[in-house]
Amino acid sequence: MTVAPHFQFQDGVLHAEDVALEQLAQEHGTPLYVYSRQALRDAWEAYRIASEGRDVLICYGMKANSNLAVLDEFRKLGSGFDIVSGGELARVLAIGGDPSRIVFSGVGKQVWEMQAALNAGVKCFNVESEAELLRLAEVADQCGKVAPVSLRVNPDVDAHTHPYISTGLKENKFGIAIENALTVYQRAMSFPSLRVVGVDCHIGSQITEVSPYLDALDKLIALIKQLAAHGIQLKHMDLGGGIGIRYTDETPLTPKQLLDEVFLALQAHELTHLQIVLEPGRSLVGNAGVLLTRVEYLKHTEARNFAIVDAAMNDLIRPTLYDAWHSVEPVTPRSGGQPAPSYDIVGPICESGDWLAKDRQLDLQHGDLLAIMSAGAYAFTMSSQYNSRPRAAEVMVDGAKATVVRPREALDSLFDTESVLTD
Ligand SMILES: *Cc1c(COP(=O)(O)O)cnc(C)c1O
């Protein structure tokens, strides 16, 4: 068994659903991102079941994986979208997504992005500072629109996750300190070009326990009551994304665990009129993808053994950025007798930080194909062309069928919009 249910061994060869990964690598080359459509559907199903009979809107946190094929799958399943840029808005509109199911997050919204979102008619702006609120009021006024507003508050709770993906602590740049929220809400109420509709928080990512959410929920409920006492009625409460996935042996909380607790609290506080919004990213796509890479060279030094592969930090930056752990599976493991040596899996990029995994017991030869597991989230979307490496192709598998949903970038696309000076 691997960590990802739709990537399993059949007759000793790792498959994506019913397609052998070796075959995909031969047809499309490596490095290659491979996604499972059924894994997307199953991840969605967990949220659908948890939402049944409840007023819940799931807005896929699309920065995790914004390929149009992934977005379109979630659109068809009924998802809304959590966007953080004008570029993401353009992607949702390109697949015919419903703007009234879009929430717009992010600390640095520019004027053109606000205009585009107002013209599209998004469900709400998750406003992260007083300065942003003032700008939004002005932009909406100039567009002759009324902007729906939810304040992203910073509840100052510890999500017990990596510091780089923890967002709900006082020292983080995100949101409005919860103790200042009432003042900012009152300010928002004073603008005719703004309509206050909700409250929002997003406390971090790869969260595995329910307790940080409950800490945030308590604080949000207290705020909602305080606002009501001042005549400010909200329509929805957005608890953000953040539910973790299994990279190795984690057993993260489930959407149902979270929503059961949330709705118990809403009943206890007579707040059942509130719509609940969630913005899951990683938990919808993380285990729906792998990154295939081939071993180019084995290098044995005095200090370590290196497997130099054709994928690199430009394809998957999480290990070096967050010290993240991804499982590495040989696609066709050999049943060797002697104990396998320990390898660092590294890329060809000229940086010591260019590593994908460290200290893995693997029986390797050059030419072997490896699957870096759980690469459906924050892999392609964080990729770059560093070292002038064209971005890898993305393939979506559905049963026994595989479709290229983004081709490998051509070499000349690396520079075909650049120019040299003429004098
Ligand atoms: C990144 C992000 C999400 C998605 O987070 P996951 O941990 O991938 O679920 C949701 N909301 C906001 C505001 C984000 O920045």
Chain segment 314-370, per-residue pLDDT in tens:
999 999 999 999 999 999 998 776 788 999 999 999 999 999 999 999 999 999 999
d(CA 52, CA 405): 31
- Please work out whether the CB of residue 205 comes within 6 Å of at least one atom of ligand 1: yes
Are 161 and 192 part of one and the same domain?
Answer: yes
CB 280 within 8 A of CB 241: yes
Q: What is the pLDDT of residues 193-202, one digit of tens each?
A: 999 999 999 9
Taking CB atoms within 8 Å and a gap of at least 24, the contacts of 4-12 are: 4/36, 4/39, 4/287, 4/288, 4/290, 4/373, 4/374, 5/39, 5/42, 5/287, 6/36, 6/38, 6/39, 6/42, 6/287, 6/288, 7/36, 7/290, 7/329, 7/371, 7/373, 12/332, 12/333
d(CA 410, CA 376): 23
Are 202 and 160 part of one and the same domain?
Answer: yes
Q: Where are the alpha helices (DSSP H) in 52-180?
A: 68-77, 86-94, 111-120, 130-143
How many residues does this entry show for the chain? 423
pLDDT category at 174 given cuts 50, 70, 90 is confident
Q: Hey, which residues are catalytic here?
A: 350
65, 105, 166: residue to mutate for ligand 1 pocket, most atoms within 8 A of CB: 105
Are 170 and 261 part of one and the same domain?
Answer: yes
Mean pLDDT of the chain: 96
Are 204 and 272 part of one and the same domain?
Answer: yes
pLDDT category at 165 given cuts 50, 70, 90 is low
Known binding site for substrate: residues?
282, 318, 322, 351, 378
Cis peptide before 31 (omega within 30 of 0): yes
- Please work out whether the CB of residue 240 comes within 6 Å of at least one atom of ligand 1: yes
Q: How far is CA 11 from the centre of its chain?
A: 33
pLDDT category at 284 given cuts 50, 70, 90 is very high
- Please work out whether the CB of residue 88 comes within 6 Å of at least one atom of ligand 1: no
- Look at residues 265, 280, 295 and tell me which one is the last residue of a structural domain: 280
At 272 the pLDDT is 96
Are 150 and 16 part of one and the same domain?
Answer: no
CATH number at residue 102: 3.20.20.10
**Domain contains 75:** no
d(CA 402, CA 405): 9
- Tell me, yes or no, if the pTM score tops 0.85: yes
Specify the residue with its C-alpha closest to ligand 1, atom 10.
Answer: 241
Are 227 and 265 part of one and the same domain?
Answer: yes
**Domain contains 137:** yes
Could you list the residue range(s) of the whole structural domain that residue 214 is in?
98-280
**Domain contains 86:** no
Are 260 and 178 part of one and the same domain?
Answer: yes
Q: What is the pLDDT of residues 175-228, one digit of tens each?
A: 899 999 999 999 999 999 999 999 999 999 999 999 999 999 999 999 999 999
CATH number at residue 340: 2.40.37.10
* Count of domains forming the chain: 2
Ligand 1 centroid, distance to 313 Cα (angstroms): 22
Classify residue 413 by its DSSP letter: G
- Please work out whether the CB of residue 280 comes within 6 Å of at least one atom of ligand 1: yes
Are 259 and 400 part of one and the same domain?
Answer: no
At 101 the pLDDT is 98
At 116 the pLDDT is 98
